Amino acid sequence: MKSRKLFALLAGLVLVALVLAACAPATPQVVEKVVKETVVVEKEVPVEKKVVETVVVEKVVEKTVVATVASPLAGKKFKIAGVFPGPVNDAGWTTAAYLSLVQLRDKYGFEIAYTENVKPEQAEAVMREYVDAGFDIVYAHGFEYADPIYKVAKEYPKTYFIQTNGSAADLPNLYTITFSAGEGGYFMGRLACQITKSGKVAYVAGTEFPILSHHIKMSRQACKDLGREDVQIIESYVGAWDDPAKAKELAKAAIEQGVDVLILEADIGDVGTVEAAKEAAAAGKYVRVISWVRDKNYLAPNIVIGGWEERVPRLIEYCVERIAAGEPGGHFALGLKEGAVGLNPFYGLVPLEVENDILDLLQKYLADPKSIPTLEVRTDL
């Protein structure tokens, strides 16, 4: 009888161990093996005659075997060239593109090259030069390159092309990729409408384009969800991405009209926006600035919030991995779930209850996107 109980107990332990092993979360770099060993246990059992009963059980032994998961890029030596709309030291959109190339060079040994300050009308010629020079991948950084990159990609089917903020999906050698539109707008809108004291918020942006327009729409939705439909969200467009003087002029005018929260969307122009905010703060006005693309708190530590981070290197590596794996082009969008975007620090510039509200909502959303039913995420822009 005791032997049967022992057997049942051991069998139960085996079952529990197997269930736990099956439910354990996967780790990309480690492969878990379950090795079954047969163990012979001899035990005296009190019966009419003294006998030795042999009980055969299976013991689960977990052994960890470290296995390297090979990246599709391992061993690849691509040559990749970037076509950029601004200078690589703009501390924003173009800097993020430059860092994408640097990451590919340092991580995989790629040969890289780039051309800065390329106007859309110049882009075709620059792309052709890179193709003729033997580059495997040409990467154009920005929605403004949609027409030229599509045209050149059709002419050179054996070369791969990547475009950020593009939407074309019908060429096998063209990979257009964006950040999912709406998430940043919603969370930064929810932040802005809780920290404004005047009820006026302004986006100071380079130019209008579909992804940005949807972010602004979701910022307004976030205010509505908080019962703050009274908050005005103003759109101010510089007309270029490299004009800090004009951005400062627009930001100054917005502040004079009562705006006390500014959202940075003008690349190099952001410097001018922050300068206008600093001058207003020095004059005794309450003002806060929310970063976008990259954390720009360093420009004015007392007024600039870390804001919304867009991790461009994640987008470019994603496309290059598809190329290396032999997967065709198309349109792709990455967001919070994929780790392509996220929140930067608040630096103590917002009330703690507001910071907690944003962070708590973010965690709920990551666990269940349906927890914000009014947040419309678009991946087609």
How far CA 46 is from CA of 2, 52, 63, in Å, comes to: 9, 9, 37
Q: Please, which residues bridge with residue 63 across strands? A: 33
CATH superfamily for domain 79-180+313-334: Response regulator (3.40.50.2300)
The model's pTM is 0.79
- Name residue, tokens 């198309």: 330
Q: What pLDDT sits at residue 15?
A: 40
CATH number, span 183-312+339-371: 3.40.50.2300
Rounded-to-integer distance, Cα 162 and Cα 147, Å: 13
Q: Amino acid letter at 177?
A: I
180 secondary structure, DSSP code: P
Q: Which two tokens stand for residue 98?
A: 């430059």
- Strands (DSSP E) found in the chain: 30-45, 51-66, 79-83, 111-115, 137-141, 160-164, 174-179, 200-205, 232-237, 261-265, 288-293, 304-310, 330-334, 341-343
Residue 179 contacts residue 334 (beta carbons within 8 Å): yes
Please provide residue 13's backbone torsions phi and psi, each rounded to the nearest 5 degrees.
-65, -40
Residue tagged 């400062």 (tokens): 248
Asked whether the beta carbons of 380 and 331 are under 8 A apart, the reply is yes
Q: Domain residues of the chain, as ranges?
A: 2-66, 79-180+313-334, 183-312+339-371
Q: Are strands 51-66 and 30-45 parallel, antiparallel or unpaired?
A: antiparallel
Element (H, E) at 98: helix 93-108
CA angle 280, 256, 268 (to 5 degrees): 65
Token pair for 192: 């802005």
Strand partners for 62: 34
> Under the phi-then-psi rule, with left for phi > 0, alpha for psi from -120 to 50, and beta for the rest, what region is 292?
beta
pLDDT tens-digit map of 286-316: 999 999 999 999 999 999 999 999 999 999 9
pLDDT tens, the chain, 381 aa long: 444 443 344 344 434 343 333 444 333 333 333 333 333 344 443 433 333 343 443 433 333 333 344 567 777 789 999 999 999 999 899 999 999 999 999 999 999 999 999 999 999 999 999 999 999 999 999 999 999 999 999 999 999 999 999 999 999 999 999 999 999 999 999 999 999 999 999 999 999 999 999 999 999 999 999 999 999 999 999 999 999 999 999 999 999 999 999 999 999 999 999 999 999 999 999 999 999 999 999 999 999 999 999 999 999 999 999 999 999 999 999 999 999 999 999 999 999 999 999 999 999 999 999 999 999 999 999
The sign one gets for the Cα dihedral 200, 204, 208, 209 is: negative
Nearest to 287 by CA among 195, 187, 188: 195
pLDDT at 310: 97
> What integer pLDDT is reported at residue 70 of this predicted model?
59
**How far from 240 is each of 117, 317, 364, CA to CA, in Å?**
12, 28, 37
Q: Do domains 79-180+313-334 and 183-312+339-371 have the same CATH topology?
A: yes
Integer-rounded Cα Rg, in Å, for the chain is 28
